Amino acid sequence: MTAPVATAAPPPTAASGSFLSKLEIDARMLGMLAALAVIWIGFDLLSGGVFLTPRNLWNLSVQTASVAIMATGMVLVIVTRNIDLSVGAILGVTGMIIGVAQVQWLPAYLGLEHPLTAPLVVVLAMVIGGSIGLFQGWLIAYLGIPSFIITLGGLLVWRGAAWWVTTGQTVAPMDTRFKAFGGGVEGALGATTTWVIAAVACGLIIIALGLSRRRRLRFGFPVRPGWADAVIAALACGIVLAAAAIANAYPLPAGTARRWAEANGLTWPEGGLFIPHGVALPVLIAILVGLVMTFIATRRRFGRYVFAIGGNPEAAELSGINTRWTLMKVFGLMGLLCGISACISTARLNAATNAAGSLDELYVIASAVIGGTSLAGGVGTIAGAMLGALVMQSLQSGMVLLGVDTPLQNIVVGAVLVLAVWVDSLYRRRIK
């Protein structure tokens, strides 16, 4: 009697179920995408086809960048069962300081329009924002003062400090190279760069899916069917290429294009030149920040500690996690991201004003909550928060196109925030 021949076990596959379960797509993320589509189509119909034009979508992406960057940090803050109400005020005071730095301080030593001015200002903004965040985190983590009180006080303190930097005077204009951080003509990367970035992004998506599949197989975890990975790759790459096409469909203004042609020795044709804007620098910065924050939250020990603290603070401390130091770093990271957003906001306005960042705390918190971050802690995604920021900015942009008054815009944003928290509570009850 011959011994049975051993055969290799087939790779484990994801459990059978619906089409969406095989794709492993988060139902809440899909719901947000559906809501975003409804908002875009609705505003486009109400505005007579203005909302979904390349120009408006390009501007929408630039307007979303600042809030989206701060929302990535707010995810980690809320995951730890805390809140930060001071993000808009930190942006405001940081913006005023870097405005004075590049208009008065640095020119006194380096001269006007020095190549080092812009990078030094960005580093200064990150240091100021990070320092404020670390200080507030220290008060919360080591003195045991509730984050709500500390950051509410911070909202008042830093907003007042923004006024005292110049006693309320607006500082302008900004350094020419620095203005690229705000988008506009200076921050438009052009068609060629945009297509190169899109091609690299598509390649990275495919590589990431392949590495994820290999990692799952190595550890014996279930994997998606091959066709499911192909569908996800096609959808993701399609979105990237469509975004690149939209960015390249928005041309530079005729006057700017004419000056560019003259500077490059080109003859201005009778019909003018179509020179695409391409992707905006602040949008690229926001995407890079989102990728880095996702890597920190899902692939680094710090991220695991943050979610462990949010899930059960007592158990996390008993397991050896330095919860106080981790919490302090979370608020420091939040402040650093506020510094980056301050650069974008100040560059967009080409001026530093003490009112910059007003009500941004509302939009940032709403973005994180709408994106699936639970106020009960322990649950949240960076991608969801960035998508939530796009939803919030789409609402505001659409209402501006329709001529809705600012008070009514605030009412709508507040109502959406309450609705998002209610939906989150229903979702948590369902999964219990």
Query: How many CA atoms lie within 13 Å of 295's alpha carbon, on the beta-carbon side?
Result: 7
- pLDDT at position 15 is 46
Q: How far apart are CA 148 and CA 155, in angstroms?
A: 10
ω into residue 146 within 30 of 0, thus cis? no
Percentages helix, strand, coil for the chain (3-state, rounded to 5) are: 70, 0, 25
410-414, long-range: CB < 8 A, 24+ apart: 410/359, 413/362, 413/363, 413/366, 414/362
pLDDT level of residue 160 (50, 70, 90 thresholds): very high
Ranking 257-271, 321-335, 392-406 by mean pLDDT, the lowest is 257-271
Instruction: For residue 87, give the nearest of 286, 257, 336, 422 by alpha carbon.
Output: 336
CA separation, residue 221 to residues 12, 84, 213, 224 (Å): 7, 37, 9, 10
Average pLDDT rounded to a whole number, residues 210-226? 86
Per-domain boundaries in the chain: 26-186+322-431
For residue 11, the model assigns a pLDDT of 53
Length of the chain: 432
Q: Which residues pair with 188 in a beta bridge?
A: 280
CB atoms within 10 A of CB 108: 7
The pLDDT assigned to 23 comes to: 64
For 73-82, how does the pLDDT look when each residue is reduced to its tens digit (9 = 90+)?
999 999 999 9
Mean of per-residue pLDDT scores for the chain: 90
> What is the rounded CA–CA span in Å between residue 235 and residue 59?
24
Beta-bridge mates of residue 223? 13
Q: Using CA atoms, how far apart are residues 377 and 330, in angstroms rounded to an integer?
A: 14
pLDDT score for 430? 72
Cβ(82)–Cβ(379) below 8 Å? no
Q: 3-state DSSP call for residue 276?
A: strand
User: Mean of the pLDDT values across residues 404-421?
Assistant: 86
pLDDT at position 6 over 50? no
Tokens (6 digits) for 421: 């928290």
Residue 91 predicted with pLDDT over 80: yes
* pLDDT at 100 exceeding the cut of 60: yes
Long-range contacts of 319-328 (CB under 8 A, 24+ apart): 323/141, 324/141, 324/142, 325/141, 326/80, 326/302, 327/80, 327/82, 327/137, 327/140, 327/141, 328/134, 328/137, 328/138, 328/140, 328/141, 328/142
- HEC string of 144-201? CCCHHHHHHHHHHHHHHHHHHHHCCCCECCCCCCHHHHHCCCCCECCHHHHHHHHHHH
- Span 99-117, average pLDDT: 94
Give the mean pLDDT of 2-29: 58
User: Contact, 363 vs 392, CB < 8 A?
Assistant: yes
Q: Inform me whether the pLDDT recorded for 4 exceeds 70.
A: no
Is 289's pLDDT higher than 70? yes
Decide: helix, strand or coil at residue 358.
coil
Tell me the whole-structure pTM to 2 decimals.
Answer: 0.93
If we measure between CA atoms, which residue out of 119, 62, 116, 128 comes closest to residue 89?
Answer: 128
61 contact partners, CB below 8 Å, separation of at least 6: 247, 280, 283
- Give me the pLDDT at residue 223, please: 83
